Amino acid sequence: MNKVWQLKENLTKLAILDATFQVFGSESHQYQLKPCLSNKDIQVFESTYNITLPSEYRNFLLEVGNGGAGPGYGLYKLAGIESEDVTPEKPYRDNYEILSKPFLLTEAWNDLDLIVNNDAYLDNEFIQGTLTITNYGCGIYAMLVITGEQSGNIWIDDRTNDNGIYPATLSFCRSFHDAEPDDFHLNSDEEQPLSFYDWYEDWLNRSLEIIRNS
C-alpha cells in the first residue's frame, strides 16, 4: 500500500473517530491540512536556502499538505511560499540561514555546564541543519534534520526544560503520542531516531488506538 495513501486514509479515520478532539493537540489543528505545495514552490525554496528537503517530507508537502494535522499541536507550514516571494533578502525567519549548515549531533546531547551561560546552551549551532516542524508544548519542539547523516530523521529540542537535544525514538513516541509530555522520561539513547514518515505514522496509529479504546 502506498505510504501517502495510507497516511491520508488513517488521518481521515482519526478525524471521524475523534470528533470531540480528545487526542492531545488536536483541538488546535482539528485534523485539517493546509494546501499542498507545488514542485516549483519547493524548488524555489530549496534553491533560495541551498538545501534539499528530505524525500519523505518533500512528498508530504506535495501530496498530503503544507502543515496542519500532526503530532503535538500540528505541523508548521513551510512558510514564505504561499503568501510572499521567498528571496535571500527576505527569508521567512531571521535565522533561516542556519538550515544549510551541517547538523552536528549523532547522539543525545545535553551539556548542562553551558546553562551557566544560557545563550551558549541555547546557541543555534546545536540545531543548525534542522527545520522545526511542530510544538509539543512545554517548550519541546520536534525538528526535521535536513543535512548530514541524520538527514530525514526527527530530533527533539528540549533545552527549555534543560533536557538537551535528542532523537525522536519509539520510546519518545510511546510517551509523547500516548500521554501528556510530563509523563516522559528519556531512557532510550540506544534507539534509532525515526524518519519523518515513521514518526508521523506512529502518531496516527497511537492516536487511533487511544480513540478506539476510550
Confidence at residue 88, expressed as pLDDT on a 0 to 100 scale: 40
Contact 194, 153 (CB under 8 A): yes
CA pair distance 96, 114, nearest whole angstrom: 24
For residue 190, pLDDT beyond 50: no
pLDDT recorded at residue 189? 46
Instruction: Give the pLDDT score at 185.
Output: 52
Q: How far apart are CA 161 and CA 137, in angstroms?
A: 11
pLDDT reported for residue 210: 92
- 142: β partners: 134, 156
Segment 16-46, tens digit of pLDDT: 999 999 999 999 999 999 999 999 999 998 9
Q: Positive or negative CA dihedral for 119, 121, 122, 123?
A: positive
Please report, in angstroms and rounded to a whole number, the separation of the first and last CA atoms in the chain. 28
Is the pLDDT assigned to residue 134 strictly greater than 60? yes
pLDDT at 213 over 70: yes
pLDDT score for 179? 54
Cα separation of 24 and 16, whole Å? 16
pLDDT at 1 over 70: no
| Average pLDDT of span 136-163 | 96
Task: Give the residue from 174, 168, 101 showing the smallest Cα distance to 133.
Answer: 168
pLDDT, tens digit, 9 for 90 and up, residues 51-64 = 999 999 999 999 99
Higher pLDDT residue, 208 or 96?
A: 208
CB 132 within 8 A of CB 74: no
* pLDDT single digits (tens) 84-93: 444 443 434 4
Grid cell at residue 33? 491540512
Around Cβ 35, how many Cβ atoms within 10 Å?
Answer: 11
Asked whether residue 113 carries a pLDDT value surpassing 80, the answer given is: yes
